[in-house]
Structure 1
Amino acid sequence: MRIELRDGVLHTDGAPGLLATADYPYYRDDPSVWRERLRTLRDETGIRVVTSYFPWRHHQPDADVPPDFTGATRPDRDLLGYLRICAELGLSVIAKPGPFIHAETNYGGLPDWICPAVNPEVEPTLDAYGDPVLWNGSVLGADGLVERWPLPSPQGAYFSARVGEWMRAVGKEVLQAATTPEGPVVLVQIANEGLFTDGALPLWSYDYSAPGLAFFRSGLSEHYGSLDGYNQVHGTAHTDWAEVQPPRERRAAGSVQEQLARADWGRFHSDLLAEAYHSWTEALAPEVPVLVNLNPPAEHPHSFDGWLSRVRPERWNGIHYGFTNWMGVVSADRTSHARYVLAAKRAPGPNLEENWGFSELYDRAYAAGATSFHQSLLALAAGATGINVYTGVATSGWGDDMDVMHSAPYPDCPPIDQHGNPTDKAGTVRMLADFFALHGAEFLAATQVTGPSWGLYAPYAAVAAWAADDDSGTGCGRQLRAFHERMRGTGQDYRIVDLESADPQTLAGHPHLVLHGGPFMHASVQRLLADHLAAGHTVELSGEVPRLDELLRPCTVLAEALAAVAGAPAADNPSAEAAAGAPTVLSGHADAYWRTVGPDTGYLTVLVQSDSEGPVTVALPLGGDRVGTVTLEGAKGGAALLRVVAGELDDFLLTGLNSYLASAVTPSVALGGAVVRAEGPADLARVAGELRTLRP
């Protein structure tokens, strides 16, 4: 079996498919229940791919003793046995060896002995103020709270060496025996949500340690060629690279040279991720594709900019993009919605952690399956190539060595409870899994109907990340957030294109570009945009028009191109045609997305907001002058996905129940003259022509 990831889509022996997965934390359960829990997860949800973290602290609690993957020191460390069970049950596995996993484990899954507070050989990650970056450790303090421990610097020599040893051990002792085609492992995920769940942190949060700054200056030397080259561009007179200091003070840049210095620091952050991902993957040496899962931007005004400057999948060279979701209920919160959509749109890849099980730890809304169902469909509508159920099974068999913070069960409301019994959510997941097992490849191949695209020039994000929270005019993250709201307000979908990595052919697929400007821009990007204009496309640039290149040399290619079209008659705008082909919500409070297979065939996703009242009615363009009217009766905060074939309703998914919002609706869907209605409050689906109802 040959496994590939192409443009974020899983291909098995050349055949594409939507990646539907569920997590099982085997290390939190007694080995005696592993087989039964996995069998129940498979049979009750239809999921055939399991994701599992391999906690470093669990398998190697002692620095002087090799990792245990066979259960020789304790039965619940028998990772090889766990993977054999997966294979025997016909389950594929995404292996997640960290080194940092979060997963509500002590010290994020790192062993205590790698902590700088325990081992002076380990250098801590430092913030801009010189303070160590902290994480929950594994010991309760006198106040009953978990002690906060410093995190290692990812570039530290001791940490890097020991991580390499851990990864090589996993690769040699686990993956060589368990990787497809002989074993169940089909993909590997490196790290979790950045390096230390820090992908969303501000740029001043890390890493100002000595090894971190050495890596920063090494990157400057490579980028500028020499210290003289750096001095010439930045207007400095340094005699040693050690004199070059990163930005530390949060304030508006006073000069274009200071802006460029902030762009340098943003590039360092993206390089730091890429270097760690590649060095850890090299040590692991897997024979299957490697991906990562980035957490979305945080809720702060500056977070879009910090995130965009750090998360540069185009620079990862073979490491594939994925994302996760832990930011709030998107059907009720506009900010959470914007952050979620950005993560799904940044690059093609699967959602690798969707909250299906935690209500007590995060938000009570997740007690209802409708909340997670809504968000899973939003991810796919926005561009994701897969969904995940985190976690699929509740567990209750861990000790304080793994988690001193939380009590069983973990989590509190997943599809399979701690006794191994399916909950209402299992049926909801089953509908999703069965629908996409049948239609997933076609869904992913369908064309998203979108309006204008956002042109991302990441150096602007690195500059703007340092601006004050109330500086709403700064680009580009805050401008992208405003663009998101503008598009959502007009009922249009959009895409994001990275301008530094795009070529003319790629950009031609984005006929209407919107971006925010600044004083400098790579000369190659300016030429790319100028050629895009010359080809008759639209470039809508707000803010300052760049007149310098990336080395602050005069470059007016784009300025001249924009001036040339400023007085010209408006050309036909292909993106306007695309917008005209978008669905329109006529009643109810909902978002609608349309993916086309043909003029009157495709997939309509309708995401009902938590405050919606009454039925949702959508006008659906079906090619030419034809418009179909879709009417849905569904639960508040729920969602629907309809397969439309030749203008007629085919298979579909629809939620009629949301227990958290006390919304229980007799669901129905109508398109044209066809109406399908349940007999009472329920979730309703039709898969392969078979009608299903799911009641509590």
Structure 2
Amino acid sequence: MTIEVRDGVTVIEGEPEALVTADYPYYRDDPAVWADRLRAIRDDLGINVITCYLPWRHHQPTPDGPPDFSGQTHPSRDVVGFLALCYELGLRVIAKPGPFIHAETNYGGLPDWVCPRVNPAIEPLLDARGEASAWLGEPLPAPLGPVFDPLVTQWLAATGKEVLEAATWPEGPVILMQIANEGIFTSGALPLSAYDYSASGLGFFRSRVQAWYGTPEEYNRVHGTAIGDWADVQPPREWTAPARSEEQQGYADWGRFHAEYLAEVYHRWAAAVNCRVPVVVNLNPPAEHHHSFDDWLARVRPELWDRIHYGFTNWMGVVSANPGSQARYVLAAKRAPGPNLEENWGFSELYDPAYADATTSFHQSLLALAAGATGFNVYTGVGTSGWLEGLDSVHDSPYPDSAPIAEDGTVTPKAHAVRSLADFFAQHGAEFLECVPETGASYGLYLPYAGIAAWSGPEEGPQLGRSLRAFHDRMRAAGRDYRVVELESADGLAEHPRLTVPGGAFMHRHVQRLLAGHIRAGNQVEIDGEVPELDESLRPCRILAEAYREGTSLDLPETRVRVVDGHADVFLRTHPDRDVSYLTVLTMSDHEGAVLVELDGRPIELITARGGAAVVRLAGGELDDFLVKGVNGYLDSAVPAGVKVGAEILIADHPADLDRIGGEFRVHEGQPSGG
């Protein structure tokens, strides 16, 4: 009886599956309705995996006693009973004990008594200016601080021993455990200058610098400095426009520190819980500023996590209307294989009114899967009301405002879209994930450049994030999907015959050797920037320069699939052993009319709403099951959804969504105009 995560795919009892989940914040609802709401998720949404945070501030509001997990102080704290109820109803669970959860809770779910303002003995997290990093005005604790560290360990150990141990699969419902939230304190996308300049953070930084360089003399040689002791090593606090590679290494070190710091916190917290099931995390995508890709890429290095598995979230804008949001979302889906663990299906007042309609979330869930995600989450599946004072003092009931299941338990118009996705991927998800994306080229990440470029201007020093964003825009303009590969950890590049890499003055010797061998094997390598002639220790190294052909640009092959007419993106996945393909078409918000796609020279026509989307299974070249979104009430767009492949034309007889799953047709009028 096993649960595994293989290459980002959840495997239960040896069977891989697309991980389709729905969040239910039990702590915000009356326990008397828990069973009814869980049945609604199972029966009305067709989802049998629940995700739920365990808020520390809810279960242990004061430090005077142990956490309450059984409801002794209030029924809504009976998480042991909640998990038992999930098990009785045949539901599986991803448990998320934080310690920081965000989830629109006060102080991000941390109890007030771990706040440095309340307990001055707790070391605050500091930014580059020496000021406390805060959550909505309240200073955050330094994760490695000598007082906070044992307190958080005690909380996580209690959740592991008192809640999760008995509830772990197969004796209980818990199949995965998520640690932290979107980094550490929803901080995975913040600038590298945002943290951690506390004494404990800098102590960890200097210990890592010592491990990397070995002696102060070697550190001085690489950095052009004259330190006498590791305590003399200073982190960067601002961009000083360094021209020489030696002067830029401190920025690269700080980016590397962020990656190892995140890994250290993940491992400490996961070890404290000591849960037997696989551990996942949910990184938020890059933020929306000019350094955002570099901040995120420097910090997010799943290759360092060792048995902690990658996942990501949404919360970055409407991708059908904003190309920047789409680029950030696609990068999160491509960085490493793993599920989308939070897709906004319920918050229109808090985030964007477009989410009042299911179409936005439907589009984004399909985009995540097409771009590389191994599952998606409905956040949240149910509207809730009646939470305890002190848990969330900002948001009004219901939470969220437009969930697929309303706060009174009734089904809303969004439920059909969720059910369609859940049923389609229950039927075809494992096969979909086996299929190989049709891509035109790849981008190779050389992450030391991210630590430098996170501070620099666009023309100063090596670049990574801006180069990757330009590559993304170029591929999408050409209608091409692409792959991402991290070069320092890559064993080989055979799957990437057309590869763009960022350039700079230095590059790891083994990466240069890998790229040079790739070129000599007849593959294309395009260097975006300076061709490196130094290795990572800034010693002469011309391995790549001698193999590289100046002026190389990628010679993209003929694409099998392209959009002939319409403002839409198209993604194709093909099974390696069977004549089966999946075509995902994502219609932009400004599109009107049918989208005409050409696959292997054969026309395929999709009729979707503005901002809509479709996924089509093709078996033996013939139309099989599909989902097509024909109604977007937010954009006042309603068309008879349809699909045409060859001589087969299937179209609704009135404005509606159209599905076929397991050969069974379903027509749904969608959400009324105005959401």
Contact 2:659/2:665 (8 A) holds in 1: yes
Q: Is residue 594 from structure 1 mapped to residue 572 from structure 2 by the alignment?
A: yes
One-letter identity of the residue aligned with 1:593: F
Match of 1:486 among 465, 474, 479: 474
Offset of residue 668 of structure 1: 1.0
Q: Which residue of 1 aligns with 2:489?
A: 501
One-letter identity of the residue aligned with 1:496: V
Q: Which residue of 2 aligns with 1:530?
A: 516
Offset of residue 63 of structure 1: 1.2
Of 95-104 and 233-242, deviating more is 233-242
Provide the secondary structure at the position in 2 that maps to 1:594: strand
Provide the secondary structure at the position in 2 that maps to 1:475: coil
Offset of residue 641 of structure 1: 0.1
Q: Which residue of 2 aligns with 1:641?
A: 615
Distance in 2 (CA, whole Å) between partners of 1:12 and 1:628 is: 38
Distance in 2 (CA, whole Å) between partners of 1:693 and 1:72 is: 48
Q: Which residue of 2 aligns with 1:97?
A: 97
One-letter identity of the residue aligned with 1:518: G
One-letter identity of the residue aligned with 2:500: V
Provide the secondary structure at the position in 1 that maps to 2:93: strand
Q: Is residue 346 from structure 1 mapped to residue 359 from structure 2 by the alignment?
A: no
Cα-to-partner distance string for 1:204-246 (whole Å, 9 max, x where unaligned): 1111111110000000011111222212221222112111110
Q: Which residue of 1 aligns with 2:110?
A: 110
Distance in 2 (CA, whole Å) between partners of 1:215 and 1:473 is: 27
TM-score by length of 1: 0.94
Contact 1:252/1:466 (8 A) holds in 2: no
Cα 1:567/1:595, change in 2 over 3 Å: closer
Distance in 2 (CA, whole Å) between partners of 1:77 and 1:258 is: 53
Match of 1:547 among 522, 533, 543: 533
- 1:16-35 alignment runs, 5 A limit: 16-35=16-35
Provide the secondary structure at the position in 2 that maps to 1:605: strand
Cα-to-partner distance string for 1:482-516 (whole Å, 9 max, x where unaligned): 10000000000001000000012xx1111111011
Q: Which residue of 2 aligns with 1:3?
A: 3
Q: Is residue 682 from structure 1 mapped to residue 656 from structure 2 by the alignment?
A: yes
Cα-to-partner distance string for 1:274-296 (whole Å, 9 max, x where unaligned): 00000011111111100100000
One-letter identity of the residue aligned with 2:590: D
Provide the secondary structure at the position in 1 that maps to 2:191: coil
Q: Which residue of 1 aligns with 2:365?
A: 376
Q: Which residue of 1 aligns with 2:594?
A: 615
Cα 1:567/1:124, change in 2 over 3 Å: closer
- 1:174-573 alignment runs, 5 A limit: 174-468=163-457, 471=459, 475-504=463-492, 507-562=493-548, 565-566=549-550
Q: Is residue 666 from structure 1 mapped to residue 640 from structure 2 by the alignment?
A: yes
Cα-to-partner distance string for 1:386-436 (whole Å, 9 max, x where unaligned): 000000000001122100111100000010001000111111111101100
Distance in 1 (CA, whole Å) between partners of 2:152 and 2:461 is: 42
Q: Is residue 692 from structure 1 mapped to residue 670 from structure 2 by the alignment?
A: no
One-letter identity of the residue aligned with 1:490: A
**Cα RMSD (Å) of the superposition?**
1.4
Offset of residue 566 of structure 1: 4.9
Distance in 2 (CA, whole Å) between partners of 1:559 and 1:125 is: 43
Offset of residue 467 of structure 1: 1.5
Distance in 2 (CA, whole Å) between partners of 1:340 and 1:415 is: 23
| Count of matched residue pairs | 669
Q: Which residue of 2 aligns with 1:582?
A: 560
Provide the secondary structure at the position in 2 that maps to 1:157: coil
One-letter identity of the residue aligned with 1:340: Y
Distance in 2 (CA, whole Å) between partners of 1:395 and 1:567 is: 59
Identity, % of aligned pairs? 62
Provide the secondary structure at the position in 2 that maps to 1:613: coil
Distance in 1 (CA, whole Å) between partners of 2:77 and 2:441 is: 51
Contact 2:613/2:628 (8 A) holds in 1: yes
Distance in 2 (CA, whole Å) between partners of 1:227 and 1:268 is: 17
Contact 2:24/2:51 (8 A) holds in 1: yes
Offset of residue 616 of structure 1: 0.4
Provide the secondary structure at the position in 2 that maps to 1:266: helix
One-letter identity of the residue aligned with 1:405: V
Contact 2:86/2:173 (8 A) holds in 1: yes
Provide the secondary structure at the position in 2 that maps to 1:39: helix
Contact 1:491/1:582 (8 A) holds in 2: no
Contact 1:96/1:190 (8 A) holds in 2: yes
Distance in 2 (CA, whole Å) between partners of 1:392 and 1:330 is: 21
Contact 2:383/2:398 (8 A) holds in 1: yes
Q: Is residue 152 from structure 1 mapped to residue 137 from structure 2 by the alignment?
A: no
Q: Which residue of 2 aligns with 1:604?
A: 583
Q: Which residue of 2 aligns with 1:657?
A: 631
Contact 1:396/1:410 (8 A) holds in 2: yes
Distance in 2 (CA, whole Å) between partners of 1:272 and 1:118 is: 26
Contact 1:450/1:582 (8 A) holds in 2: no
Provide the secondary structure at the position in 2 that maps to 1:254: coil
Distance in 1 (CA, whole Å) between partners of 2:240 and 2:231 is: 23
Cα 1:299/1:567, change in 2 over 3 Å: closer
Distance in 1 (CA, whole Å) between partners of 2:560 and 2:247 is: 43
Q: Which residue of 2 aligns with 1:624?
A: none
Offset of residue 251 of structure 1: 4.5
Q: Which residue of 2 aligns with 1:142?
A: none
One-letter identity of the residue aligned with 2:509: A
Of 98-107 and 233-242, deviating more is 233-242
Q: Which residue of 2 aligns with 1:143?
A: none
Distance in 2 (CA, whole Å) between partners of 1:86 and 1:197 is: 28
Offset of residue 456 of structure 1: 0.2
Q: Which residue of 2 aligns with 1:141?
A: none
Contact 1:628/1:647 (8 A) holds in 2: no
Cα-to-partner distance string for 1:461-480 (whole Å, 9 max, x where unaligned): 11111013x65996110010
Distance in 2 (CA, whole Å) between partners of 1:487 and 1:117 is: 49
One-letter identity of the residue aligned with 1:674: E
Distance in 2 (CA, whole Å) between partners of 1:618 and 1:474 is: 39
One-letter identity of the residue aligned with 1:534: R
Distance in 1 (CA, whole Å) between partners of 2:240 and 2:335 is: 27
Contact 1:357/1:413 (8 A) holds in 2: yes
Cα-to-partner distance string for 1:593-626 (whole Å, 9 max, x where unaligned): 00012685300000000000111000012xxxxx
Distance in 2 (CA, whole Å) between partners of 1:553 and 1:346 is: 30
Distance in 2 (CA, whole Å) between partners of 1:473 and 1:411 is: 45
Distance in 2 (CA, whole Å) between partners of 1:391 and 1:549 is: 48
Q: Which residue of 1 aligns with 2:64?
A: 64
Contact 2:241/2:460 (8 A) holds in 1: no
Contact 2:462/2:505 (8 A) holds in 1: no
Provide the secondary structure at the position in 2 that maps to 1:495: strand
Q: Which residue of 2 aligns with 1:49?
A: 49
Cα 1:555/1:472, change in 2 over 3 Å: closer
Contact 1:251/1:466 (8 A) holds in 2: no
What stretches of structure 2 of length at least 5 have no aligned partner? 671-675
Distance in 1 (CA, whole Å) between partners of 2:462 and 2:539 is: 23
One-letter identity of the residue aligned with 1:592: V
Distance in 2 (CA, whole Å) between partners of 1:189 and 1:591 is: 32
TM-score by length of 2: 0.97
Provide the secondary structure at the position in 1 that maps to 2:605: strand
Of 224-233 and 95-104, deviating more is 224-233
Cα-to-partner distance string for 1:327-373 (whole Å, 9 max, x where unaligned): 10000001101011010000000000000000000000001101000
Contact 1:656/1:684 (8 A) holds in 2: yes
Of 306-315 and 236-245, deviating more is 236-245
Cα-to-partner distance string for 1:554-586 (whole Å, 9 max, x where unaligned): 111111111xx4599x9xx8x844xx2431101
